[in-house]
Structure 1
Amino acid sequence: MANTLQDSKAVLVDRAEQQMNGHFGDPKLTTRQKIALTCRIAYDGGHDSGLAGQISARGPQPGTYYTQRLGLGFDEITEDNLLLVDEDLQVLEGEGMPNPANRFHSWIYRVREDVNCIVHTHALHTAALAMLEVPLVVSQMDTTPLYDDVAFLKDWPGVPVGNEEGEIISAALGDKRAILLAHHGQLVTGATVEEACNLALLIERAARLQLLAMAAGTIKPLPPELAREAHDWTSTDRRNQANFAYYARKALRRHPDCVTGEVHL
């Protein structure tokens, strides 16, 4: 016999959150492993664009972060070939050089203490939307983690290898978790690698949905109160961990070489 059919939505949400806290948690992966997995997840998720794009996460010391080596595609990244660099992009650990465009990551990490991971790519649909100089519109339930959380930089400042571009992009991002960069691509941030990875997949899906919807008619907005509720409900640490674990299991089936040793997800 059912006992919960008269419970309020608030009660059911609280119960579900407690259950998720008991069933999902951190799989104890290292930061290097999470970045390597994120590179492969992004590659499988349509974020491949040759050598364009960077994924980074804060390192063990202030002012340091891990990122991939220039010359390797997302599908070639392993936990062992990642670099540890400082804010000047000087290599502290590893062989090779980072992408010079990583410079704007340094600016974002400096102004956003809450950000611990950045995923910047030129994924097909976000790049196509960026060509139109049209902001991202979140109007479908699955993409609500991005609702009212995506900034827009309308004016392209050129290739982001200078400090000027770092200042412009970090200022345009503001306190949002993501930004669509006109004539460029997308950038998402996260308090964890898992969060940034999930948002990267979502922003590309949201851009694809928007382009399809724009071709068919006029996009209708979500009710703001319900959209904010969905944003918060889908943006918890436990949901990020559960989603990341799923994507990581898929990636490991295709790319078992990206991490060393046995991983339990």
Structure 2
Amino acid sequence: MASTLDMSKQELVALAERRLEAGVSDGAWSLPEKLALTCRILFDGGHDSGLAGQITGRSGNGSTYYTQRLGHGFDEITPSNLIEVNEDLEVVAGEGIPNPANRFHTWIYRARPEINCIIHTHPPHVSALSMLEVPMNVSHMDTSPLYDDCAFLEKWPGVPVGNEEGEIISAALGDKRAILLAHHGQLVVGKSVEEACMLALLMEKAARLQLLAMAAGTIKPLPPALANEAHDWVSTDKRDRVTFAYYARRALRAHADCLG
């Protein structure tokens, strides 16, 4: 006999969260492996734009982070060709040099000590939306993790290689997990690589949906209470991990060389 059919929604949510907590492991991938997998996942998701995008993951000592070396596309990243750099973008481990645009990552890490991964890319739909100088309009259940969690920088400060751009972008991001950068692209942050990866994929999906909806009519808003509920329901560490694992399996099937 069924025993849950008279339970309230709150009780069912709590039950589902307990099952998720007990049933999903943390996985066995190292930080460099997760970064390499994320690069392949994002490449397959349309986030490749030559050498424009960056991914960084804070290392264990807190003052350095891993990133891809300049000259390698997302489809070429493996754990062995990542480099470790300090806040001045000096290489402390590995061979090669970082993208000079990584400088604004340092400013975000300094402002947000809880953040362990930053992803910045120029996918096509995000880039197209950024050209309109309008903020992200989150109005679909699937993209609800971005609801009231996506900032907007409406004026392009130029190529982000100076400290000024780092200050501007980190200030505009504030305490949000994502930001749409006008005439530029997207940036997401996460306490884990898995969280940042999922948010980056959602940014491009949300931009694509917004452009499609804008072409058809006027976007209708989500009810705030329900949107916040959906945001919190999806935005959990275990959900990020189980979803990341799915995309990682896909990436490993498509990119046999990913983990070396």
The interval holding the TM-score normalised by the smaller chain is over 0.9
Shift of 1:2: 2.0
- For structure 2, which runs of at least 5 residues remain unmatched after alignment? none
Secondary structure at 1:49 match in 2? coil
Please tell me whether residue 172 in structure 1 is matched to residue 172 in structure 2: yes
Aligned counterpart, 2:154: 154
Distance 1:184 1:69 in 2: 21
Instruction: Please tell me the residue identity of whatever aligns with 1:128.
Output: A
* 1:1-265 pair list within 5 angstroms: 1-260=1-260
Normalised TM-score (structure 2): 0.99
Distance 2:146 2:80 in 1: 32
Secondary structure at 2:81 match in 1? coil
Shift of 1:5: 1.2
Instruction: Please tell me the residue identity of whatever aligns with 1:42.
Output: L
Secondary structure at 1:257 match in 2? coil
Q: C-alpha offsets along residues 40-84 of structure 1, whole Å, 9 cap, x if unaligned? A: 000000101011110001012221000001100000000000010
Instruction: Please tell me the residue identity of whatever aligns with 1:99.
Output: N
Distance 1:233 1:218 in 2: 27
Distance 1:114 1:232 in 2: 18
Shift of 1:191: 0.3
Secondary structure at 2:119 match in 1? strand
Aligned counterpart, 1:263: none
RMSD: 0.6
Distance 1:181 1:96 in 2: 28
Normalised TM-score (structure 1): 0.97
Secondary structure at 1:25 match in 2? coil
Instruction: Please tell me the residue identity of whatever aligns with 2:88.
Output: D
Distance 1:39 1:98 in 2: 15
Instruction: Please tell me the residue identity of whatever aligns with 2:82.
Output: L
Distance 2:62 2:206 in 1: 34
Shift of 1:250: 0.2
Secondary structure at 1:258 match in 2? coil
Distance 1:231 1:181 in 2: 22
Distance 2:24 2:208 in 1: 30
Q: How many residues align?
A: 260
Distance 2:143 2:77 in 1: 27
